[in-house]
Structure 1
Amino acid sequence: MPRWKAPDLPDGPLRELNRALHALHGRAGWPSSRDLQKAVGGHDVVSYTTIHQALTKPLLPRWGVIELLVEELARAAGGRRRPTDTVEHFKKLYDRAYGAGEDDEHANGDPEPEALDARTPSGVTTEPPAALRIGETDRTDSAPQVDRGDGGKQGESVTEELRRRLTADSYPPGSRLPPQRDLARELKVSRDAVQRALRVLQDEGWIASRKGSGIRVIKNIQRGVVMGPLISEAFERADVSFDVFTLTSESLVAHMRLQAERIQFGHISPRSITVRLLVPDMSLAFPYWRSGDAAQDGALKERAVGIAQRQLADLSAVFRSMLVPFVRFTVRHVPLVPSFKLYLINEVAALQGFYEVVERVVDLDGEWVQALDVLGLGAPLTHHVKDGDPHSPGSMFVESARGWFESVWQRLADQEGDD
């Protein structure tokens, strides 16, 4: 679009925000509103009119539109991009311009209908904005949401939780996810964090959205063997043991939390639980978590390390909560980059699945980065059982896997963290 004249606004937060967006638009080469609409996903995500108004009018739309524009304009700016051309910086400007923090009782949920105009600059009126991104159209959500704390990390936590629910079949294929406002309220996060998570899940192929029909689960993760029933069956023994080799413990956390609840409610009462967990030394040079930009690669690696550490902390907390006479949970780090995950259950069964390397968009602290990543949650698993025949395929696989695990545990793994 042609260079537009910035609206004549009085000094203040709204003028600062408008000028910052105007300047970023210029550094991006003044792309047209229609080009921007295509770049952020088309008319099902945001209307052309909404983008045009965001770039030419003194009144800016809800935060989700500004966030999309900042992401795309910063990408288009390339080498002309400035350090302040970040989603986080514009979020602070937006919150100041729209009085964030003045209505704290609604900060972590949806605003009451009568409060919709409370965040609009004084003396300015507007029509309700178009539905954003994932296709939810409930008009009670038209006020911008305030992201308390780090929106990027909130988004990662929500993504992890929703992936766990998808894996546990809480949201089976064909079903609809709860509305964004309900998820935000339940998980005690902002709507922005929920939208970030949904965008990641949509990019990964878990969900799909159509305007007016909500968000549907489309990925059928029940390929191969379902892990949950096998773990539940394993915990019905008096002495439970797991040997696990994995990139992170994400798949394991939800299942173990379920077993802790079964123990708490008296449904099962094992006498002992022994878990040995092999995870990679995160200082290794991994072939994924890469974008081609050295600075971004470092941040992608830090993000992956943070996720892995949170999962281990969650898993440790779950085992500490188990009301069992004897619980031993030991983690060792090994100088291997996993290409597969392996679960050895009660010394008689094995589950194996392979990690899939994918190229996808990753939410990197508010910036969407195209990167190589690896997916393991929901991967198809093969099930092998040791039977009375030592030469059967199942028996041979379990014994071979146990021998491999024991050799790595004893000879390669770092033992400094043992209890």
Structure 2
Amino acid sequence: MSRDVANLVSRVGHVATIGRMELDRDDPRPPYQQVAAALRAAILGRTFQPGEQLPSQNELATTFGVARMTVQQALRIIRDEGLTVSRQGSGVFVRERAARPAGLRPHIERIFDAEKVTIDFVGFTSETLHGAITEPLDKIRSGRLTPRDIRIRILLPDMSRPLALPVAVSGDEAASARARARSAAISARHVGAIRDSVEELQDMGLVRSATVESRVHGSAPLFKAYILSATDVFFGFYPVREHEVRDGDDRLATYDSLGRDSELFHYTDDGDPESPGTQFVAQARLWFDSMWDTIATKVTP
């Protein structure tokens, strides 16, 4: 960036605004990642205070001289990092506890610096996983990261059968089925994108092997977990909220698991078999493998 974000912030009422900034043309990162980095720095540096509203998408697009779609991608990144929360009809706000994020993305990038990369993910739709691995994959394509083998396993709820979540507030099963179908479509889109982008690396000769597998199970989505190279686990519960979603031309009120509101907790295998972190990682791996090898059903591309 041409100037520090903190020097460009002013406020109108309770909403922070930023003056015009230019992206660094010599920065190899895509524009959306540069915008995300600037907003991340502003949030963690307390330029934007916890609970404070960010500028609108249109204002951010003008600020950085980018398209609104670029801003949306950047906001999705910092939302997935747990730095912000969206409030329907109000805007995007810095999370109250954003000063102490779990730091999932730096850990994911770190494991891609090793020769062998393994990620086991259990969650709702894999949307956050897709966002978290985008930057490391870009760095592999540009030669800045050089893993040899990548294996990703994705464990998701089977939305083809009745589940406790998502469910229509009205209790109508037909409406609940539509809500599940919507979630299934989101899952399929992100799993497909992950598979295409990872397996492409092998096709391009950038890695020796690259596999993405996905399976589904019959439990409701109540938590998410990332098991990174069998040594680190990021775990968070899904809070259940009443949430209105688009259903064709209509709006559907549902009770849903909202991943963007999950607080991730980090556990590390530190080599001490008696430490809580090591035990949690071991139990998380055991649970994932037990689900994967028994009641989970393979999903074909």
Match of 1:284 in 2: 161
Question: CA 1:390/1:236 → structure 2, altered by over 3 Å: closer, same or farther?
Answer: same
Contact 2:239-2:261 at 8 Å conserved across structures: no
TM-superposed deviation, 1:388: 2.1
Please tell me whether the aligned partners of residues 85 and 92 of structure 2 are also in contact (alpha carbons under 8 angstroms). no
Q: CA 1:208/1:308 → structure 2, altered by over 3 Å: closer, same or farther?
A: closer
Distance 1:276 1:267, change over 3 A: same
The counterpart of 1:296, out of the listed 175, 191, 213, is 175
Overall identity of the aligned pairs, in %: 25
Q: Which has the higher contact order (CA 8 A, sep 6+)?
A: 2
Alpha carbons 1:221, 1:378 under 8 Å: kept: no
Please state how far the C-alpha of 1:254 moved relative to its aligned partner.
Answer: 1.1
Deviations 1:262-321 (A, max 9, x none): 111221101111111111222232223313144433322221221111111121122123
The alignment of Structure 1 onto Structure 2 pairs a total of residues equal to 238
Residues 327-346 of structure 1 correspond to what in structure 2 (within 5 A)? 327-346=210-229
- CA contact 1:207–1:219 (8 Å) conserved in 2: no
Structure 1 residue corresponding to 2:275, chosen from 388, 392, 411: 392
CA-CA distance at 1:384 after TM superposition: 0.7
Distance in 1 (alpha carbons) for counterparts of 2:271 and 2:114: 19
- Please give the alpha-carbon distance, in whole angstroms, between the structure 2 residues aligned to 1:359 and 1:315: 29
Match of 1:359 among 213, 227, 242: 242
Match of 1:234 among 85, 104, 111: 111
Match of 1:324 among 195, 207, 214: 207
2: distance between equivalents of 1:170 and 1:368? 36
Say which structure is richer in strand: 2
Q: Structure 2 unaligned runs (5+)? A: 1-14, 16-31, 71-75, 77-83
Q: Residues 119-144 of structure 1: CA distance to partner in whole angstroms, max 9, x if unpaired?
A: xxxxxxxxxxxxxxxx9xxxxxxxxx
The answer on 1:259 being equivalent to 2:142 is no
Match of 1:402 in 2: 285
Contact 2:156 2:216 in 1 (8 A): yes
**How far apart, in 2, do the equivalents of 1:209 and 1:295 lie?**
27
Q: 2:145 is matched by which residue type in structure 1?
A: I
Per the alignment, residue 206 of structure 1 pairs with 86
1:306 partnered with 2:185: yes
Q: 2:95 aligns with which of 209, 212, 219?
A: 219
User: For each residue in 1:174-209, what CA deviation from the matched residue of structure 2 results, as whole angstroms up to 9, or x when unmatched?
Assistant: 431331895995439xxxxxxxx9xxxxxx962587
**AA matched with 2:86:** W
Deviation of 1:219 after TM superposition, in Å, equals 3.5
Gap change, CA 1:180 and 1:368, over 3 Å in 2: farther
CA RMSD of superposed structures (Å)? 3.3
Change in Cα spacing, 1:176 to 1:352, as seen in structure 2 (3 Å) is same
CA drift of 1:224 comes to 4.6
Change (3 A) 1:207 1:177: farther
Q: Secondary structure at the match of 2:243?
A: strand
Change (3 A) 1:305 1:324: same
**Are positions 1:380 and 2:260 aligned together?**
no
Asked if the contact 1:291–1:372 (Cα under 8 Å) also holds between the matched residues in 2, the reply is: yes
Residue identity opposite 2:200 in structure 1: S
Contact 1:353 1:381 (8 Å CA) reproduced: yes
Distance 1:216 1:171 in 2: 14
2:123 aligns with one of 216, 231, 246? 246
1:170 CA displacement: 8.9
Kindly indicate which of the two structures has a greater share of residues assigned to helix. Answer: 1
One-letter code of the match for 1:345? L
Q: Distance in 1 between matches of 2:297 and 2:161?
A: 14
Aligned match of 1:54: none
Distance 1:360 1:382 in 2: 24
| Distance change (3 Å), C-alpha of 1:300 and 1:417 | closer
Paired letter, 2:57 = P
The alpha-carbon deviation at position 365 of structure 1 amounts to 2.1
Who is 1:152 aligned against? none
How has the CA–CA distance of structure 1 residues 416 and 313 changed in structure 2, closer, same or farther, with 3 Å as cutoff?
closer
